Amino acid sequence: MWGPKEAMHDNIDADLTLPSVVSSLPGTSRDQVLSLTIIFHPKTSRIGQTAVLPRKTDSAGWILGRRSPAFSDATVQVAEPLDDPHISRQALEFLPRGKQLVVRRFAGSSRCRIAGGELDDSVELQRQELHKGVALMLGHTVVLLLRLTRRGGTGAGVLECGGLLRGSSAYMAGLRRQILQNAGSDLDVLIRGETGTGKELVAAAIHGASARAEAPLVSVNMAAIPSDLAAAALFGSAKGAFTGADQAAVGYFQQAQGGSLFLDEIGDTSADVQPQLLRAIQQREIQSVGGAIKQVDVRVISATDAALEGEGCDFKAALRHRLGACEIQLLPLREHPEDIGELLLYFLALAATRLQRSGLLPQEHSSAPEIASWAGLFYRFLCYSWPGNVRELENFSRQVVLASERQLTLVDHVESTLRNGAAAPRTEPGTMARRRMQAIGEEEFDRALQDNHFEVARAAKQLGVSRTAVYRRIEESPRHRLAKEVPRDELQRVLAEHQEDILAAAMKLRVSVTSLRALLRQREAE
């Protein structure tokens, strides 16, 4: 309690109080910008360059045209405008109107397509559309993505583990940094993301950038291991441990000694195996079936697109938290569409080199009709939502090159898919409760397989069940089959009918293209 006034004044702190600082984490709305990314340009080295539109404090707009704005990335010293003669000096005007953005085409300016349609006068874009990204095509030559997103990354860096880790978006730059940070920690890593987002390549990149890079990286598909054989497969077995064990077998943990063990589809690990796996990861010791306890030195990297928590999930919480000492969440391609142009160009070039068709690709000196065809392709790919993510983009790119012997050609399947858009609804990892397969009728099961082109992982996600349950039902069903069950003569006949188009053959045979390709590789090796 204060004493007399004089004493009170003697105790007053004469220092000034400093004003509060308002902070925000990276990635919040304060960090967002409206940007234009080059998805296609006749000078293909410019694909991936970005122009950030300055923040406006008034209603004045921005001009997009041949001379403005300037685009750049980490590989160029001086930012440059689009500088294409087929684009008007003043093509479009962007006008901020509260939470909307009005895009207005100048009268008599070069042709513009926006979000799949022609722009004759003006269109009002909502904030939700800008977050998702809006595709633009100017003239017949340049494709751009207009998007409200986080500030860009550090340029078109690439980790040497395949084209899936290419891209100049803020997301890809952040992912590369996260991979390098995790690689140096030697902690176990859990990678989560939809099918086709590159989980296996991220695992390989972590291993390759780590101190264990010279030691083995052993990859295991947990969904493909029968529960009664899982212990022997993972931890090994002693001679005579069970019927047929004529000699001792080394398990995956010992095969990865000194290196990294990649447990793919970890969410499909059977409930019986999970406690054994937890002990092995916690103690770094294993006990082979019928054998002694041994110490192992491995780093465990796991991946899944399945829910590991929530109602209806039987994945043990202790194992889930032990696996995720470090966690990486991979975004679906539709959430970083800025990278579509760079990824598409990379996969096209890769397929063209393998098929000895490098002359097919767009060049600066290509004719106007050729440039228009390529710009149209990139624009259509940008407008598609990619339910199969980067893996689907790679598959489509390969099919385009395969079908284009003399000029750019789309096979019927790619054409119809791009026209119809994504077929199946999607949910984010971790948000979907598991269902019981017994509650799913034959018609719903059949429709899920067809919607997802008979890919088990995608059908399982749509149905809300595990891959193991889908495999088991296919094996038990007289209406369905796996690729390995297709007779040789039927496979050869269907491939011949479709001129060796593996995707078309898979749809005819009602099996997944992934498993059909694996079967063909296996039979070629025999």
Catalogue all structural domains in the chain, each as residue range(s) with its CATH number.
29-150 (2.60.200.20), 170-329 (3.40.50.300)
Surface-to-core class of residue 121, CB atoms within 10 Å of its CB (0-12 exposed, 13-18 middle, 19+ buried): exposed
Q: How confident is the model at residue 1 (pLDDT cuts 50, 70, 90)?
A: very low
Write down the residue that tokens 């080394």 correspond to: 250
pLDDT of 269 reads 87
pLDDT of 201 reads 92
Residues 6+ apart with CB under 8 A from 295: 284, 285
Model pLDDT for residues 51-66, shown as the tens digit of each residue: 999 876 666 789 999 9
What is the chain's mean pLDDT, rounded?
Answer: 84
State the DSSP H helix or E strand holding residue 388, giving kind and residue range, or none if neither: none
Coil, helix or strand at residue 278 = helix
Question: For the whole model, what pTM was predicted?
Answer: 0.75
Residues in the chain: 526
> From CA 386, how far away is CA 44, in angstroms rounded?
22
pLDDT of 462 reads 81
Model pLDDT for residues 323-344, shown as the tens digit of each residue: 988 999 999 999 999 999 999 9
> From CA 170, how far away is CA 335, in angstroms rounded?
11
* Exposure string for 136-163, b = 16+ CB within 10 A, e = fewer: bbbbbbbbbbbbbbbebbeebbebebbb
DSSP-assigned beta bridge partners for residue 143: 40, 137
> From CA 287, how far away is CA 446, in angstroms rounded?
42
> From CA 325, how far away is CA 373, in angstroms rounded?
48
Mean pLDDT value of segment 13-39: 62
pLDDT of 430 reads 39
Model pLDDT for residues 65-94, shown as the tens digit of each residue: 999 999 998 777 789 999 999 999 999 999
pLDDT of 73 reads 86
